[in-house]
Amino acid sequence: MLDYKLLEALITVVETGGFERAGMALGLSQSAVSQRIKLLESRLGQPVLTRHPHLQATPAGRRLLNHAQQVQLLERDLRRQIPALSEDRTRLRIALNADSLATWWGEAIGAFCQEEGLLMDMVIEDQDVGLRRMREGDVAACLCSSDQPVAGARCIALGNMPYRAWAHRNYIARFFPDGLTAQAFQEAPAIVFGPHDQLQHRFLAQCGYHGRFPYHLCPSAEGFVRLAMAGMGYGMIPDNMIGDNRTTLAVPEGELVNLNQAVTVDVPLYWHYWRHGGDFMERLTRTIARAGSALLEPIR
Amino acid sequence: MLDYKLLEALITVVETGGFERAGMALGLSQSAVSQRIKLLESRLGQPVLTRHPHLQATPAGRRLLNHAQQVQLLERDLRRQIPALSEDRTRLRIALNADSLATWWGEAIGAFCQEEGLLMDMVIEDQDVGLRRMREGDVAACLCSSDQPVAGARCIALGNMPYRAWAHRNYIARFFPDGLTAQAFQEAPAIVFGPHDQLQHRFLAQCGYHGRFPYHLCPSAEGFVRLAMAGMGYGMIPDNMIGDNRTTLAVPEGELVNLNQAVTVDVPLYWHYWRHGGDFMERLTRTIARAGSALLEPIR
């Protein structure tokens, strides 16, 4: 068997972002953590961590992390069968898109986390990048818009998040006085989540515009809405973030105006998880599938 | 002079995250972008980009990016003096904390961006990490909680964001039936923004608790509130995100309960900017300083 004390040191260094913090979390000295990492590296014959540009696992280190995470999942099943086993709590690392986390995700897994005593480590990735992190062994599961499972994993459809373009009333009056013309799109600043975000391009293509457009980059779901409200640009906001119902951090009514009622951009969401994640992962998956049916739109 | 066409290719590859996308943004073929990068590297005698674990600038590449960004700022001043110069729009890259972006930031810079036609590239970093990115030349300015300027930069105080601990009523009844005891803190899951987030530790220390505690990791300001509302944990939420006024994406009244009325954790915010950023950066700085006085609490 592998020496899991060494793997635990690696997990904790990566999770806390430093040797000193890892030591605090594990109740060890910084140098004890450092020795465990060195021992792991000497057994492996290669480094598991790089320090530049910042502290992170090497490809070999990531493979170890992925393995350790699957072992932790299986241990969780075992502890369920043998409750007398120690009660230390592992965190399940999941990649998901920011807009899910900002809207339906909490409601989807809140009760499950409470019942199971599950702690989550949520990593925000644009829909298409999360899957790469899963392939690299960095996360145990991934919520994203791809329906192509990675080798060794399963993939199920959860539902659809429809998006529309919103902007402040004054912004529309200023930048689109003659409607959604090509010239207006060339001048009007958009708000884009990040370099991998293609929602804006898809919206513009559906409006018949294929040229360049100016944009702000804003990697925050709530910041997105705030910038739109401040008149800085127009942005693609999911339907479930707009409205005035009790369970939504609602955008105040009337502040934002729909840029093009006729155009909706769909983001279908899929849940990817390792086939050998064990019984616990199967139950989590059933919970999420149920929540998807209840809280998302059907995939068109 | 440097060949700025090459630097522009580097900036665009890093900003768009790929050669093909950079080509689309610059109106060039992918191979033309690739040739520019190769030429830059052969002149420099070292790589400016690495591809593993993902596409990013090397330390030398980052120094070039930093230089190019300062040149762009100066060009902006020049275009103001000579409006006939071409109107291409650069994006100003700023590191800031997620909670500022999710609350007061849009209101602070919305009018300025509209008047100046400024596009922003906002990078979310925990208060203490943004400054490192500034030192590395990755951003032109930084909003963070450190009052120590980096070499070559200035630092001004903007104001204070006070935080309190909030949780769902049912969560408190379940995990804190006997109040804020050490045993309860050992068992009750917290919600922590990321490995560099020390707000939770500061809150617990002010409550007189210094031990370990279980926590979820959730790198999303809005997700934070959603998880608390779903009863998954208690979390430090800034005062300006709680409330029911028109300008706030308000937490519905009565859903969340203050865990400890007596404890407030302060996060003072400072604005860091390069001393030679030129007139444009000075005006942006004055705008942000005014907004800080109006929208933040005074630093205690």
Least confident among A285-289, B96-100, B117-121: B117-121
Tell whether B37 is within 8 A of chain A (Cβ): no
Contacts of B232 in chain A (CB under 8 A): 106, 109-110, 113-114, 120
R_g (Cα) of chain B, nearest Å: 22
Closest A-chain CA to B90: A214
User: In this structure, is residue B286 part of a structural domain?
Assistant: no
Q: A122 and B217 in contact by Cβ < 8 A?
A: yes
Closest B-chain CA to A62: B53
pLDDT computed for residue B248 by the predictor:
42
What is the DSSP track for A232-297? S-EEEEEGGGSS--TTS-PPPTTTEEES-TT--EEEEEEEEEETTSHHHHHHHHHHHHHHHHHHSB
Contacts of A47 in chain B (CB under 8 A): none
| Beta-carbon contacts of residue B7 (< 8 Å; ≥ 6 apart) | B40, B64, B65, B67, B68
Give the span between the Cα atoms of A12 and B175, in whole angstroms.
Answer: 26
What average pLDDT does chain A have?
A: 85
Number of domains in chain B: 1
Contacts of A17 in chain B (CB under 8 A): 195-196
Least confident among A86-90, A94-98, B130-134: A86-90
Give the span between the Cα atoms of A17 and A80, in whole angstroms.
Answer: 30
Closest A-chain CA to B104: A226
Using DSSP's 3-state secondary structure scheme, residue A166 falls into strand
| Beta-carbon contacts of residue A109 (< 8 Å; ≥ 6 apart) | A118, A120, A284, A287, A288, A291, B230, B232
Instruction: Please choose, from the candidates B166, B128, B171, the residue with its C-alpha nearest in 3D space to the C-alpha of residue B263.
Output: B166
Tell whether B49 is within 8 A of chain A (Cβ): no
R_g (Cα) of chain A, nearest Å: 22
Contacts of A21 in chain B (CB under 8 A): 195
pLDDT in tens, B143-156: 999 999 988 889 99
User: In this structure, is residue A76 part of a structural domain?
Assistant: no
Tell whether A91 is within 8 A of chain B (Cβ): yes
User: In this structure, is residue B107 part of a structural domain?
Assistant: no
Give the residue-averaged pLDDT of B273-277.
81
Q: B98 and A220 in contact by Cβ < 8 A?
A: yes
Give the span between the Cα atoms of A234 and A218, in whole angstroms.
Answer: 12
* Look-up of token digits 């951090």: A249
Q: What is the ipTM of this complex?
A: 0.73
Statement: residue B84 has pLDDT above 60: no
pLDDT in tens, B222-248: 888 889 988 999 999 998 887 654 334
User: In this structure, is residue A68 part of a structural domain?
Assistant: no
- Find the domain containing A168 and state its range: 161-267
Indicate the angle between helix axes B4-16 and B59-81, nearest 10 degrees: 110
pLDDT in tens, A82-93: 654 444 556 888
Residue to test with chain B: of A196, A226, A247, most B Cβ within 10 A: A226
User: Could you give the maximum distance between any two Cα atoms of chain B, in Å?
Assistant: 70
User: In this structure, is residue A184 part of a structural domain?
Assistant: yes
User: In this structure, is residue B3 part of a structural domain?
Assistant: no
Compare A10 and A69 and report the one with higher pLDDT. Answer: A10
Report the share of chain B in percent with pLDDT over 90. 40
Q: What CATH number is attached to the domain comprising B206?
A: 3.40.190.10
In this structure, the number of other CB atoms found within 10 A of the CB of residue B293 comes to 12
User: In this structure, is residue A111 part of a structural domain?
Assistant: no
